[in-house]
Amino acid sequence: MVSLTAAATARACDALRKQLADVDPLVAGLATWLGVTGIAGGHPQPDSGLWLTRDVALAGVLEAAGQTGPRPFEEGLAALRSRTFFAPHNPGGFESDPLAILAVAIGIHHLGDSDAAAWIRKLAERAATGEVEAWRVALLHAAAALACDEVPRENLPLELLAALAGKGVPGCDRPADRTLRTACLVRGDGPAERSLFRLAALVTQGAPRTTGRRRSAVALPAVRTDVGIITIKEEEFAAVLRQFAPTTQVRGARRNYEVAELQTAHGSTRVAITRCVQQGNAHAQMAASDLLEDLSPAFVVVVGIGGGRPTSDLTLGDVVISSFVHDLTLEDTGSDGTSRFSALGGPLDPEAARVVSHLQALIPRMKDWTGTLHAARPQLDVTCTTENAAWNELLDEAFTHHRASGRSSPIVRAERIASSDRLVKDPDLLTQWTSVLKGIMVVEMESAGVYVFCHNKRVPYLAIRGISDIVGAKRDERWTAYACETAAAFARSLIETGVFAKQS
């Protein structure tokens, strides 16, 4: 009997992610389209100037995911369609690569080109007649599903069916969540892309089915939601509730939301607040999926705490708003014990960048948010927890500077955030990251998952983090509560400027 608990699902996701380390670039591109974070591709072929079939396929899925590749997909598609396939005595190329055919079909579906859709459907159907392996046939049926109005569901495995249903492909009904989870929790061998589709199905479980009985016990509002806030730790959630004082509770498909209505210079702003019980990017991504499905917020914001590095610019209790999200979830440990990380993530959505670039002009217009804190500021007394002499010297210099400044109120800066599934307390690890990624100021465990999902759905995303720890330093435990308060208070004050209100 397969356990369907959240813990079992999380363990299955972890196992599937391990199978997807350093995958083919095309599989990594499909992960981006599916909204799965932390999947990195291996080394692509050098750009020879020619359009290889998998170059075209990768360009298609990346454009469908809202990313721009080195060359436009339409150019590659035109080159691909000019070629002859199924020639007698030809060992085959594109026509014998079901995954590439599916990826090209995804790109065509995104373009909305009916002529190209008819071409890829015909090619996929003909290729399927020559295949005997069930999974390869299923990929070709999935490609055909993207080019026609309906595909019999018995032709598609549950994980493929769920992925296409989640993308709104006509005729593809999402399986019941319990059935889907049962199928995806079963361990089994197979190609990397099958593990990917299973992972995507688990990460996005709870999404609506395109047909069938409506979900029960859901009372969703008929009015807009301007901002959706995700918190993780209980202290973060409590601080946000204190600052926003929500007046309504909404029951969604898989989680509840506390809703507040704030008045701003540009009209009212509706804010929905929820909490992700478990730490980590996979759980945060699930929360973002539920939030977007239930309430369709115009912006998503993660509000909470993070760890900082020793610097004279910021210290404990200060607030960082994300200017860039580095995704360092994917780690490869070598035989010598060293670790390498794939640097994923990326810049902000243009609407989120609009807010961040104008931050220093917005701050003077805010009310005194530092006066609304429900926690007292502790003393800046710390002790070093590491034997790294160079790092300890940085800690001493930073805290000496901040104590001498006499500053007693938190400040806010837009800085780069690094997100992984590690609770970073090791200065050696942070030193490794900052040696190749300039400007990292805060480390945390949720932004990568939320960023990737929101980026693929084209929903602006920001992280607002109060600095509760400095890596390599032991401090008063009350800094956790204080940093939760500073992040929550600043988040409310920022929203009250009206930057998230729907403006005509």
Residues of the chain with pLDDT under 70: 1-8, 42-49, 68-69, 89-91, 149-155, 168-189, 204-223, 332-337, 502-504
Residue reference for tokens 């759905």: 457
C-alpha span between 374 and 378 (Å, rounded): 13
How many residues would you count in the chain?
Answer: 504
The token pair that represents 252 in the structure block: 């969604």
pLDDT, position 173: 62
pLDDT, position 429: 86
Give the H/E segment covering residue 124: helix 114-129
The token pair that represents 250 in the structure block: 């909404």
pLDDT in tens, 443-460: 999 999 999 899 988 999
The token pair that represents 105 in the structure block: 């079909």
Single-letter amino acid, residue 148 = C
Q: Is 318 helix (H, G, I), strand (E, B) or coil?
A: coil
The answer to whether the CB of 454 falls within 8 A of the CB of 460 is yes
- With residues binned 3-state (H G I as helix, E B as strand, rest as coil), the percentages for the chain, rounded to 5, are 45, 15, 40
pLDDT, position 229: 98
Quote the pTM value.
Answer: 0.62
pLDDT, position 185: 59
CB atoms within 10 A of CB 242: 17
**Count helices and strands in the chain by DSSP H and E runs:** 18, 14
pLDDT, position 9: 72
Q: How many CA atoms lie within 13 A of 23 on its CB side?
A: 23
- Report DSSP state, residue 375: S
Nearest to 465 by CA among 276, 257, 230, 241: 230
Note the Cα 140 to chain centre separation in Å: 28
- DSSP one-letter string for 156-170: S-HHHHHHHHHTT-T
C-alpha span between 45 and 55 (Å, rounded): 9
pLDDT, position 214: 33
C-alpha span between 220 and 205 (Å, rounded): 19
Q: How many CA atoms lie within 13 A of 454 on its CB side?
A: 36
Note the Cα 63 to chain centre separation in Å: 17
Contacts of residue 233, defined as CB under 8 A and 6 or more positions apart, other chains included, come to 279, 304, 305, 484
CB atoms within 10 A of CB 175: 22
Single-letter amino acid, residue 225 = T
Contacts of residue 446, defined as CB under 8 A and 6 or more positions apart, other chains included, come to 230, 232, 276, 279, 280, 281, 283, 284, 302, 304, 419, 463
The answer to whether the CB of 198 falls within 8 A of the CB of 16 is yes
pLDDT, position 14: 77
- DSSP one-letter string for 18-56: HHTTTB-HHHHHHHHHHT--S--B--PPP--SS--HHHH
pLDDT, position 241: 96
Contacts of residue 482, defined as CB under 8 A and 6 or more positions apart, other chains included, come to 316, 317, 373, 375, 376, 377, 378, 466, 468
Q: Is 176 helix (H, G, I), strand (E, B) or coil?
A: coil
Provide the greatest CA pair distance for the chain. Answer: 82
pLDDT, position 215: 35
Contacts of residue 222, defined as CB under 8 A and 6 or more positions apart, other chains included, come to none
Note the Cα 162 to chain centre separation in Å: 19
